[in-house]
């Protein structure tokens, strides 16, 4: 009896494991392909999350705009 119970338990665990694997595969297949972020999504990200070159370019652009506005006020 003990042997039969042990074998039944093993078979149940194998089926559960197979079901988990199938569920993971199905979840991965249901995920949409990630595409490149749009410019609006990039704008919404904080500077720390962007590549350093893009962050520096944007920061220097803002500084230039601020300088132009100050020169126009004078």
Whole-structure pTM value: 0.40
Angle at 1 between CA 12 and CA 10, to 5 degrees: 20
The pLDDT, as a whole number, for residue 54 is 75
d(CA 23, CA 15): 12
* pLDDT tens track for 5-50: 999 999 999 999 999 999 988 888 877 666 666 777 766 666 555 6
Average pLDDT over residues 45-73: 77
The pLDDT, as a whole number, for residue 36 is 66
Task: Give me the residue spans of the domains in the chain.
Answer: 2-30+46-73
In terms of pLDDT, which residue wins out, 41 or 64?
A: 64
């Amino acid at each position: 009896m003990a042997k039969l119970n042990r074998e039944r338990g093993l078979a149940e665990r194998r089926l559960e494991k197979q079901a988990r694997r199938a569920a993971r595969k199905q979840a991965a297949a249901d995920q949409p392909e990630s595409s490149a972020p749009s410019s609006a999504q990039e704008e919404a990200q904080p500077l720390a999350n962007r590549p350093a070159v893009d962050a520096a370019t944007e920061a220097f652009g803002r500084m230039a705009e601020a300088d132009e506005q100050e020169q126009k006020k004078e």
